[in-house]
């Protein structure tokens, strides 16, 4: 198991039967995790879905404080991953997709669990053997998974969006934890056999990489969450961020969203901001389009819709100017991150892109981003991934589309039948990215210029 302390040198002690070691360190670790986050929270009393804020200003989800939820997540994952590691590895069986394991964590502790400072809770792990396989497929070792998720307090994201979910990111930028609704968790469970088959055939995909599905039961409430890959690394400054669906109906960022420090723009904003699209070299463009086409077919086969392409844009030329203005000491937030533990986790790896000069781009040199240029000739790094895939085309969505189609052009609204949605999404994305012409800057052959932006 992982034994860690926030302020001391860390030692990874991975023992098949050593959960007692984690118990000794749990109290100190989660006292640090109990520090409430104050960034990006709505005003007291304002509630978005199940997400709210208590009198002290701390985020709550289903009336459970963020600090208690983070502590429960880390305790639960620490136990379940350590316990699973004591079991021999084997092939994944069909029944493994439907297994749910449960462990009770009383605040006073038990012979299996450590004492803690949160209300009693029960921690459920869905399909533990199947998700162990998914993690192994992406090269994530159990001790690395524990180290990322349990080594330091989880960081609450300051701009969680309008879904009412709560998002946490690990300090090493490796994983995102997102709370999901009951129907979304249920849909993911049903999706797992097909997801397993798809990943076996092609682990390089822009679809979300799911590494775990869990549930915290506390105060009579069920709080379900998924652990996924992190598409947008925090250590790389995103000058622009878009949520793209290929739709135009109400697809412009609101005034309130635009006033945020790091707003997320939408389709109409993208068409206005970057009218000429984003230019990629021929090989990278072909790889991206092929990956998008394949992923859209997978989503359509699962009858999934209402997903988005999350696009983060790092402007290298703008970053160089900012560095000159701020000075090298003043730009400490833009350091090179540690190499990611998960395979196929960066945008460039996900699309199997190769450079126009005939050699694969070193994804460490480009920070895992996809090299591109805009209409002004500015050098960019793109970070992309398909998100929000846990929406199936059920009756409520059919009714929503029918109602909207009566008032607006049915082809422009975001909610649509899966086949039409996938086709429209792919057509929009394939025109968003364009082949870079010879007279334009060949980003793929200039990684040396890119590297200098991130080196201290």
Is the pLDDT confidence value at 70 over 60? Answer: yes
* Residue at a domain's end among 169, 195, 229: 229
CATH code of the domain containing 317: 3.30.810.10
Check whether residue 222 and residue 296 sit in a common domain: no
* Residue at a domain's end among 167, 196, 229: 229
Mean pLDDT across 367-386: 91
What gap in Å lies between CA 432 and CA 423, rounded to an integer? 14
Q: Number of structural domains, the chain?
A: 2
Check whether residue 404 and residue 338 sit in a common domain: yes
Domain membership of residue 65 (yes or no) is yes
Count of beta carbons in the 10 Å neighbourhood of residue 406: 8
Check whether residue 210 and residue 255 sit in a common domain: no
Confidence of residue 432 (pLDDT cuts 50, 70, 90): confident
Check whether residue 163 and residue 253 sit in a common domain: no
Domain membership of residue 357 (yes or no) is yes
Check whether residue 259 and residue 167 sit in a common domain: no
Confidence of residue 27 (pLDDT cuts 50, 70, 90): very low
- What's residue 347's pLDDT? 75
Strands (E), 199-316: 210-218, 221-229, 240-244, 278-280, 308-315
pLDDT in tens, 134-152: 999 888 999 999 999 998 8
Check whether residue 221 and residue 253 sit in a common domain: no
Of residues 362 and 437, more confidence is placed in 437
- What's residue 59's pLDDT? 85
Confidence of residue 365 (pLDDT cuts 50, 70, 90): low
Domain membership of residue 215 (yes or no) is yes
- What's residue 45's pLDDT? 54
Mean pLDDT across 374-389: 92
Domain membership of residue 294 (yes or no) is yes
pLDDT in tens, 293-337: 999 999 999 988 889 999 999 999 999 988 888 765 444 444 444
Strands (E), 289-354: 308-315
Check whether residue 83 and residue 219 sit in a common domain: yes
Which H or E element spans position 40?
none
**Contact call for residues 383 and 340 (beta carbons, < 8 A):** no
Check whether residue 81 and residue 203 sit in a common domain: yes
Domain residue limits at 435: 240-454
Is the pLDDT confidence value at 207 over 50? Answer: yes
CATH code of the domain containing 105: 3.30.800.10
Mean pLDDT across 50-70: 84
pLDDT in tens, 73-90: 999 999 999 889 888 888
Check whether residue 198 and residue 313 sit in a common domain: no
Check whether residue 265 and residue 215 sit in a common domain: no
């Amino acid at each position: 198991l992982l034994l860690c302390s926030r302020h001391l040198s860390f030692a990874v002690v991975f023992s098949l039967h050593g959960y007692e070691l984690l118990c000794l360190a749990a109290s100190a670790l989660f006292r640090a995790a109990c520090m409430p986050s104050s960034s990006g929270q709505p005003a007291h009393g304002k509630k978005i879905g199940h997400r709210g804020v208590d009198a002290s200003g701390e985020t709550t989800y289903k009336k459970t404080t963020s600090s208690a939820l983070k502590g429960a997540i880390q305790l639960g994952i620490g136990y379940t991953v350590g316990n699973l590691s004591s079991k021999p590895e084997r092939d994944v069986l069909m029944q493994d997709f439907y297994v749910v394991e449960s462990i009770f964590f009383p605040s006073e502790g038990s012979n299996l669990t450590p004492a803690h400072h949160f209300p009693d809770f029960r921690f459920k792990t869905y399909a533990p053997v199947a998700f162990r396989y998914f993690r192994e497929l992406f090269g994530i070792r159990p001790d690395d998974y524990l180290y990322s998720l349990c080594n330091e307090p989880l960081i609450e994201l300051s701009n969680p969006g309008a879904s009412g979910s709560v998002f946490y990111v690990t300090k090493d930028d490796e994983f995102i934890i997102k709370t999901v609704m009951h129907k979304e968790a249920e849909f993911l469970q049903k999706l797992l056999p097909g997801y397993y088959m798809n990943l076996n055939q092609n682990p390089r995909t822009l679809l979300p990489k799911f590494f775990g599905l869990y549930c915290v039961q506390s105060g009579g409430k069920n709080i379900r969450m998924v652990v996924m890959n992190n598409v947008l690394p925090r250590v790389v400054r995103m000058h622009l961020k878009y949520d793209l669906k290929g739709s135009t109906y109400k697809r412009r960022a609101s005034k309130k969203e635009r006033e945020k420090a790091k707003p997320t723009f939408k389709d109409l904003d993208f068409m206005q901001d970057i009218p000429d699209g984003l230019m990629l070299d021929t090989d990278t463009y072909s790889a991206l389009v092929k990956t998008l086409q394949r992923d859209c077919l997978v989503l359509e086969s699962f009858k999934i819709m209402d997903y988005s392409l999350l696009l983060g844009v790092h402007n290298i030329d703008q970053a160089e100017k900012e560095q000159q203005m701020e000075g090298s000491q003043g730009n400490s937030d833009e350091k090179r991150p540690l190499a990611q533990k998960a395979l196929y986790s960066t945008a460039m790896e996900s699309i199997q892109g190769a450079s126009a000069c005939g050699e694969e781009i070193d994804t460490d040199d480009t920070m895992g981003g996809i090299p591109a240029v805009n209409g002004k000739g500015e050098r960019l790094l793109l970070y992309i991934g398909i998100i929000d895939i846990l929406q199936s085309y059920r009756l409520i969505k059919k009714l929503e589309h029918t109602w909207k189609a009566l008032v607006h052009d049915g082809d422009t609204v975001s909610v649509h039948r899966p086949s039409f949605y996938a086709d429209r999404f792919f057509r929009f994305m394939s025109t968003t990215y364009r082949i870079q012409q010879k007279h334009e800057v060949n980003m793929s052959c200039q990684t040396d210029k890119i590297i200098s932006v991130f080196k201290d």
